[in-house]
Amino acid sequence: MTFTQSVLVTVNPTPTISVNSATICSGQSATLTASGATSYTWNTGATSNSIVVNPSVTTAYGVIGESLGCSNTSTTQVVVNPLPIVSTSVTNATNQGCNNGSATLTVSGNGPFTYSWSAPASSTTNVATNLNGTSGTGTSYTVTVTDANGCSSVSTFTVDCVTSISSINGGGVLSVYPNPNNGSFIISFGSNVTKLVKIMDITGRVVKEISTSDKEIMVDMMNFARGTYIIEVMSEEGISRVSIIKE
């Protein structure tokens, strides 16, 4: 009699691994989740089924899934869309009511763009007019620019109230040009009397002091920080002040 011995061979199926893809804006993070296996190893070194990634550019990710000794791989990618690039040109308020300032945004990226301005600006385009300004400290505005991908950039700026002449206590004529400027500007006094010129930051700290009897002087503040400065001129004619913007 002949006996035949049978051997049972179990064939485990190869797991089918699936993983989601994602599209994000630059600076955001994405969650990738794999399924179809009991254990996972990502090309990032992570061993969980879900990982959080925040690539700066579009990046591919791979994961190996294993079940019952069988493994398979899957790849995906996270697409990173850049943020819109925004530059802002500001014209300060110059009228008596300090309400004729304006701002224009120049935007590059994936248009069309939408614009959301902070109150009291009421514009829905890249230009806002009739903006209120505040002498010295400036009135702050914020604009959120969103592109066709839903990615947003924020521009924050201030509108100053800059009058060409500002006098107190009977001070003489005082003007500054150009204003705003890049740190190089001319102060015109209107007379040749001896005067002390103090240039102060918005906290009142004197950052530059000049004594002169000239009717006009050139001032160099190229190495100073951007912002609003107050020029105070004291002479026998009184005290005059004017605000300037260094861009």
DSSP reduced 3-state for 153:
strand
Q: Give the pLDDT score at 34.
A: 98
pLDDT at 172 over 90: no
Sign of CA dihedral 81, 82, 83, 88: negative
Q: CA angle, corner 76, sides to 56 and 37, nearest 5?
A: 130
**How many Å apart are CA 133 and CA 120, to the nearest integer?**
11
CATH architecture of 167-246: Sandwich (2.60)
Query: Which pLDDT band holds residue 175 (cuts at 50, 70, 90)?
Result: confident
Per cent of the chain over pLDDT 70 is: 93
Highest mean pLDDT: which range of 175-179, 200-204, 207-211, 235-239: 207-211
- What would the CATH number be for the domain defined by 85-159? 2.60.40.1080
What's the rounded mean pLDDT across residues 127-150? Answer: 90
Average pLDDT over the chain, rounded to whole?
87
Start and end residues for every CATH 2.60.40.1080 domain found in the chain: 85-159
Query: Which pLDDT band holds residue 4 (cuts at 50, 70, 90)?
Result: low
Q: Give the pLDDT score at 95.
A: 75
Q: Give the pLDDT score at 165.
A: 43
Start and end residues for every CATH 2.60.40.3010 domain found in the chain: 18-81
Q: Give the pLDDT score at 1.
A: 59
Digit-coded pLDDT (tens) for 32-67: 999 999 999 999 999 999 999 999 999 999 999 999
Half-sphere exposure of 56 (CA within 13 A, CB side): 0
Start and end residues for every CATH 2.60.40.1220 domain found in the chain: 167-246
Query: Which pLDDT band holds residue 167 (cuts at 50, 70, 90)?
Result: very low
CATH match for 18-81 among 2.40.128.130, 1.10.10.10, 2.60.40.3010, 2.40.37.10: 2.60.40.3010
pTM of the predicted protein model:
0.62
**How many Å apart are CA 113 and CA 136, to the nearest integer?**
32
Q: Give the pLDDT score at 227.
A: 87
pLDDT at 31 over 70: yes
Query: Quick count: other Cβ atoms within 10 Å of Cβ 108?
Result: 12
**How many Å apart are CA 105 and CA 85, to the nearest integer?**
10
